Structure formats: structure tokens, C-alpha cells
Chain A
Amino acid sequence: DTGVSQDPRHKITKRGQNVTFRCDPISEHNRLYWYRQTLGQGPEFLTYFQNEAQLEKSRLLSDRFSAERPKGSFSTLEIQRTEQGDSAMYLCASSTSGRFQETQYFGPGTRLLVL
């Protein structure tokens, strides 16, 4: 099964440290999305890429957050100077583009705990 994969699955860090997460989308998918989910809430959109271009960023994505997709395949999400409020599940999803291709396929998520 070549679904969306994320690494690591869990990350515990101390406040002020930098963390980086990786997402590998389904191979033929050219769109990649990052979401954040806190307990009891639905996923919230952070940013998305079409191929290597970052086309949209949410206002939730502060200057401490940066995402890249350098070759249009895997993506990384980096959080600098982590804060306790960054504790959440970070979800990656991918999809194809084009009409009637709206379904997004999610990975298992990376759960971040900032102490």
C-alpha cells in the first residue's frame, strides 16, 4: 500500500527547540496539504503545494512555520522556536488536481508535544 506516509509519528520537544516533520504523498499526486488538529477539533488548513509551488498559506501559519516541497515530491514542515501552543497533530494529505479530483488522502499524522 503506497498511501501517504509521515515521519516521525510522535515528537516530544522542549519549548524553544526547532522541529521538522516529513510527508511523503501518494506518488502520482501533485497536490500536497498540511493541516493541524488539536483535541476535539477538526483539522485546520495550514498550507498547500501544487508540485513544488506553495500556492496558499493560512494566517494560522506564523513566521515560525515554514514548509517546503523542493522537488514536487516529499514535503517538510518546520516549526522554529516551538511554543506549548504548537502541541497538536500535524496531518499531511495529498490529491491529484483537475476537475472532479477533490478528494484528499490523509497520512497518519505526526503528534507533537511541546513541554
Chain B
Amino acid sequence: SQKIEQNSEALNIQEGKTATLTCNYTNYSPAYLQWYRQDPGRGPVFLLLIRENEKEKRKERLKVTFDTTLKQSLFHITASQPADSATYLCALDPTGTASKLTFGTGTRLQVTL
């Protein structure tokens, strides 16, 4: 069966360190993968999209990698700040038609001073 797995345990890191979140998937061949941020009680906010022919994508302090052989994406936040504390969701388009997204369960990141 198809599965998207994110570490369900919260990730606690100190301010200034790099946070690395993992998204593993099975039985998908996605053309792209997206990362969203979600704050409590709010809808997800789009952060980055990476395509299957891209190994890495960056946006300010964010970096995403996509390894279609390992079926894994890594999401990095460098120089993390308390304001980065949120839940981060990875999402795949299972049909390749941009008709819907399938989300992982998300990983909660807590950045402390």
C-alpha cells in the first residue's frame, strides 16, 4: 500500500542549529514533492516544491533534497529560530494530475533559546 512517513515524534533543537526533517514514501513515483508549514489552528502554508529531476532546492534558510532512488526527501532549516517552531508536512501528488495531495502526518519542530 502507499505510505508517506514522517517522524511523528517532535524534533527539539536549539536556536541557531540546523533542523533536518525526513519524509519517506513507498509505492509512489511522484513527479514532485511539496513541503508545507502548519501552525496550530491554521491551514498549511506552502514552502517549497521540488521536482523529480531536481536534487536540491533552496529558499532563504530552507533547503529541500529529493532522492527518488531512496524515496526520501529531507527538509533543512538552517540557523533555526523560535519562530520556526511549527508542524512541517510533506505532500505528494499521487496521480500526477495536480488534482489532490496526499500528506504525511507531519513533524512538529520546537526551537528553543
Asked if A and B are interacting partners, one says yes
Q: Which residues of A contact B (CB under 8 A)?
A: 4, 31, 33, 40-45, 48, 55-56, 58, 91, 93, 95, 97, 101-109, 111
Evaluate whether A43 and B99 lie within 8 angstroms (CB atoms) in the complex, with A105-B46, A111-B41 already known: no
Contacts of B105 in A (CB 8 A): 40-42
Residues from 4 to 31 in B contacting A, C-beta threshold 8 Å: 4, 8
Contact with A along B37-56 (1 / 0, CB 8 A): 00001111110010000000
Contacts of B32 in A (CB 8 A): 102
Does A91 contact B43, Cβ atoms closer than 8 Å?
yes
Q: Which residues of B contact A (CB under 8 A)?
A: 4, 8, 32, 34, 36, 41-46, 49, 89, 91, 93, 98-106
Contacts of A45 in B (CB 8 A): 100-102
Measured in the bound complex, the distance between the Cα atoms of B43 and A108 in whole Å is 5
Chain A to chain B: the 5 pairs with minimum beta-carbon distance, closest first = A42-B103, A106-B43, A45-B100, A102-B98, A106-B44
Does A107 contact B104, Cβ atoms closer than 8 Å?
no
Evaluate whether A56 and B100 lie within 8 angstroms (CB atoms) in the complex, with A41-B105, A42-B106, A102-B32 already known: yes
Measured in the bound complex, the distance between the Cα atoms of B105 and A97 in whole Å is 26
Contacts of A93 in B (CB 8 A): 43
Measured in the bound complex, the distance between the Cα atoms of B43 and A57 in whole Å is 21
